[in-house]
Structure 1
Amino acid sequence: MDKKPNHRLAAHMKEAGASNKGLARRVCEVAARHGEQRGTTHVSVQRWLDGGGIQPQTAAFVAEALSDKLHRTITPTDLGFPGPVPVTPTAGVNYAKSLPEALSVLDGLARLRPEDDPPSELLLTEADVDHAALTWLVSRPDGLSNDSAGSRRVGMRDIAAIRTAAGYFMQLDFQFGGGHAHKAFRHYFREEVLPLLDASYSAKVGTALFGAATEISQLLAWTAYDSGNHTLADRYMMSTLRLTQVVDDRMMGARILANMSHQANYLRQASRAMRLARAAIEGGRAHSTPRGMALFAAHEARALSTVGDHTGAGRAMNEAERFFELADTGDDPEWLSYMDEAELVGEFCHCFRDLGKSREAVHFAERAVSLTDPKYARTLGFCRMVLAQSQLLNGELEAAVTTAGLAVEAGDALQSARFQRYVTDFQHAVSVHASNSTVQQFNEQVRDAMTQMDDE
């Protein structure tokens, strides 16, 4: 794509008497004044003059630097830079038309905390979801620009660092829940990952870079979801889906759609959950490993179970099993390492619980509890709570309350809104036995655990 010289920036620099090196130095000084760092050099400035892209926050620093020099207010738009995408409750809801728009939205989202919860009515509409899924399904990759002249040259060591950080963050999320992890995630993403997307890199490195960036971005979406901020999670997922289009990472894109299906199912939006799961299956079919396809099929089974479709759910579970039997025949990405037998069995125990098949639910939940590695503390907590719900469904009140008590005892440090809802849903289910002493002791245990979490 041809770039047009930025005459507005050139004119303001000329008026201010600022050279490329001089402006670069002033931009770094302005950034430091705001407590941030920028590696801006004369090469960066020349790239902007030639029409190259710029991060929204950097554009603001350039405008401030020239405002100081000219003693009047200069905006990024005055300098020929794109206006910033405002971070409002609706920002990022629509599928971004361009990569710069997606990056601008992500930059803004990374400045929001999970507790900054927009109104729930601003969650994605059915039309928004359908448009995003369809656009992604029929999209062609943007491709990478090979003429980037960013001041920093990204190499495979940078990619390795991002992937290592992603592994640490994922484990932090599994062990302690999204509420504990999100703050560290968003700081790292904003300060260490987003700036690299505007740097210089080869085609090979660029492909790996965008793959690593989507891993961190989807973790931000997931931890926002686990913290209970569904609007923020929606916007992260939508923008992350758009990132996968850059280098045509269809497997990761399918994973994002599956994550959106998971969230929709949690919110009891079964119809949306089914469409998203099927979009993940169709979009990822020709590009995903058997293990990935097993994950996508399992999410379809979850959605079908929610609406009580016994035949459809059974078919989807069988399909997931068939794919999983071939799991070791594919070269899986590192981010899929958690998708083991315990994870699959855990998905199935949810399905049988929702289908009201108490014997199967208990059987699969017991297997899930025994198979789940304790390092996946949140997953283990979910499986224990599903086992408790299944035992209750099977008429085993005492066993159910005992199992739920073990889950709360082991999971009271989890800063996970989802885990807390599993517990409150169980409390509601056993409320008909409120006079039972075991139930009363369990409710007291939950109150103590919640008080302890509030004090931490």
Structure 2
Amino acid sequence: MSKDPNHQLAAVMTEAGASNKGLAKRVREVAQRHGDRLGTTHVAVQRWLDGGGIQRQTAGYAAEALGDKLRRTITPKDLGFPDTTRVSVGAIRYAGSPAETLSILETLTHQRPEDGPGDEPPLPDSDVHSAALSWLVSRPDGLPVDSCASRRVGMRDVAAIRTAAGFFMQLDFQFGGGHAHKAFRHYFREDVLPLLSGSYSARVGEALFQAASEMAQLLAWSAYDSGNHALFDRYLMSTLRLTQIIGDRVMGSRILTNMSHQANYYGQPPRAVTLARASVEGGRATATPRALALFSAHEARALATSGDHKGAGRAMNEAERFFERADSAEDPEWLSYMDEAELTGEFCHCFRDLGRGPDAVRFAERAVELTAPEYARTLGFCRMVLAQSQLLNGDLEAAVTTARLAVEAGDALQSARFQRYVDDFQRAVSVHAHNPVVQHFNNDVQATMRRLDDE
């Protein structure tokens, strides 16, 4: 069904003399005034003009931006946006059956991260804890049996999925989650999900569901990195349930770790700690030392955010001990990124959050040194943590120089999370707003955003 163009928005933009890029810039500025962070670009504005959906809060920012330009009150309704505009991606729940899980995942692949609702509040603790408990005490459903399935699936099909997963993972690391989400979800919907309803041996079926879970959690990460936490929640809840079908405890623990990561991002340390500990306990019996190092490192992150110096230190030591034995077992392919650079990067975040400036600088410098250029987003995060850590030590000029390098190297990242690191740093140095070094940095950030709009 085609959408009708939004003539009201077009008319007000013409009256205000606002281009797509100009309106996108003003929407970001208005959002920042309200303490919000948006990655709105001219592409989003064109989508609104074409009749696409918009988040309720974003519609309000657009109305305020055009109202400021025209010096009169503009409402979302004046722009052709109903006040109740909201694109729903459905309720979040832990599915009761494998068939329901696959149906939910298929529905999610029709949702675009940019369509929202990215401004939804976090899931209630009760829903998150219920899902984690359901998974922890679950027994495998077993592979579905469909005697009528006409498609015979083999290991060659599984190998193709794993190859595609590696390709999409590299795109995500190097260019950010927003770069290839459309192609990614189309591949998952058209080439992966249908295979799960095919005919296969037990060996192939187990490998197939493992590969599908890996792809689904990558889709969740790309939604998260694009700034849509609601879609991330739904993908992760469904992927956690997907791992239950074959009893993949290692990937299930990885999903709980991802959920802990998001809770940290949202500023919910108690939830982050609970989920991280659930991941450690859920995977302890079957996970490799490298996987347990990852799970323990995220427990350390959560405890550091909580300000628990003793607990964070214990978890970091545990992660380090696991990592010392990382080469003693064969890991799943998706865990290959968990190397010394990744572990060091997790630790520098911990020391920063604990306010231990010298340790944070030391580990952040090491993380930057170890991180390969193809992991551009991770490198950007580590550089920004180094800048924040240098600021903790009172070295303003070094901090700004490091942050400028991160912005210059990371301007191709379609990553809402990277933008938040930059925004957080700008807020931290705002007390030095009159310092020429800070003013030049803020100008560089604005120039980078303009370049992104032009691309």
Per the TM superposition, whether the score is higher than 0.5 is yes
Whole-Å Cα distance in 2 between the matches of residues 120 and 452 of structure 1? Answer: 26
- Change in Cα spacing, 1:92 to 1:189, as seen in structure 2 (3 Å) is farther
Whole-Å Cα distance in 1 between the matches of residues 297 and 108 of structure 2? Answer: 30
Whole-Å Cα distance in 2 between the matches of residues 112 and 151 of structure 1? Answer: 29
State the AA in 1 paired with 2:437.
T
Q: How does 1:101-120 map to 2 (within 5 A)?
A: 101-118=100-117, 120=119
Q: How does 1:172-187 map to 2 (within 5 A)?
A: 172-187=171-186
- Change in Cα spacing, 1:243 to 1:88, as seen in structure 2 (3 Å) is farther
Structure 1 residues without counterparts, runs of 5 or longer: 1-86
Q: Does 1:168 align with 2:167?
A: yes
Give the 3-state SS of the residue equivalent to 1:178 in structure 2. coil
Q: Does 1:244 align with 2:243?
A: yes
| TM-score normalised per structure 1 | 0.80
- Change in Cα spacing, 1:415 to 1:196, as seen in structure 2 (3 Å) is same
2:236–2:259 Cα contact (<8 Å) kept: yes
State the AA in 2 paired with 1:257.
L
- Change in Cα spacing, 1:206 to 1:88, as seen in structure 2 (3 Å) is farther
Whole-Å Cα distance in 2 between the matches of residues 119 and 209 of structure 1? Answer: 31
Aligned to 1:33: none
Aligned to 2:280: 281
1:225 CA drift (Å): 0.5
Aligned to 2:203: 204
Larger Rg: 1
Whole-Å Cα distance in 2 between the matches of residues 455 and 110 of structure 1? Answer: 28
Note the alpha carbon deviations across 1:394-423, whole angstroms, 9 max, x for none: 000000000000000000110000000000
1:141–1:248 Cα contact (<8 Å) kept: yes
Q: Does 1:404 align with 2:415?
A: no
Note the alpha carbon deviations across 1:271-328, whole angstroms, 9 max, x for none: 1111100000000000100000000000000000001000000000000000000000
1:146 CA drift (Å): 4.1
Q: How does 1:13-162 map to 2 (within 5 A)?
A: 89=88, 91=90, 93-118=92-117, 120-121=119-120, 123-162=122-161
Note the alpha carbon deviations across 1:85-134, whole angstroms, 9 max, x for none: xx984635110000111111111100000011126345421011000000
Quote the sequence identity (%): 73
Whole-Å Cα distance in 2 between the matches of residues 331 and 125 of structure 1? Answer: 37
Whole-Å Cα distance in 1 between the matches of residues 124 and 389 of structure 2? Answer: 33
1:181 CA drift (Å): 2.3
Whole-Å Cα distance in 1 between the matches of residues 89 and 144 of structure 2? Answer: 29
Give the 3-state SS of the residue equivalent to 2:205 in structure 1. helix
Aligned to 2:255: 256
1:147 CA drift (Å): 4.7
1:346–1:383 Cα contact (<8 Å) kept: yes
1:345–1:367 Cα contact (<8 Å) kept: yes
2:87–2:116 Cα contact (<8 Å) kept: no
Give the 3-state SS of the residue equivalent to 1:144 in structure 2. coil
- Change in Cα spacing, 1:119 to 1:441, as seen in structure 2 (3 Å) is closer
1:349–1:386 Cα contact (<8 Å) kept: yes
- Change in Cα spacing, 1:88 to 1:438, as seen in structure 2 (3 Å) is closer
2:178–2:226 Cα contact (<8 Å) kept: yes
Aligned to 1:388: 387
Whole-Å Cα distance in 1 between the matches of residues 208 and 221 of structure 2? Answer: 20
- Change in Cα spacing, 1:264 to 1:148, as seen in structure 2 (3 Å) is farther
Whole-Å Cα distance in 2 between the matches of residues 281 and 119 of structure 1? Answer: 29
Whole-Å Cα distance in 1 between the matches of residues 104 and 243 of structure 2? Answer: 15
Give the 3-state SS of the residue equivalent to 2:299 in structure 1. helix
Deviation beyond 4 Å, 4+ runs, structure 1: none
2:92–2:233 Cα contact (<8 Å) kept: yes
1:166–1:215 Cα contact (<8 Å) kept: yes
RMSD between aligned alpha carbons?
Answer: 1.3
1:217–1:236 Cα contact (<8 Å) kept: yes
Whole-Å Cα distance in 2 between the matches of residues 134 and 399 of structure 1? Answer: 46
Structure 2 residues without counterparts, runs of 5 or longer: 1-85
Give the 3-state SS of the residue equivalent to 2:338 in structure 1. coil
Aligned to 1:300: 299
Aligned to 1:233: 232
Q: How does 1:346-357 map to 2 (within 5 A)?
A: 346-357=345-356
| TM-score normalised per structure 2 | 0.80
1:243 CA drift (Å): 0.4
1:237–1:260 Cα contact (<8 Å) kept: yes
1:146–1:202 Cα contact (<8 Å) kept: no
Give the 3-state SS of the residue equivalent to 1:115 in structure 2. helix
1:92–1:102 Cα contact (<8 Å) kept: no
2:196–2:208 Cα contact (<8 Å) kept: yes
Note the alpha carbon deviations across 1:435-456, whole angstroms, 9 max, x for none: 1111111101100111111222
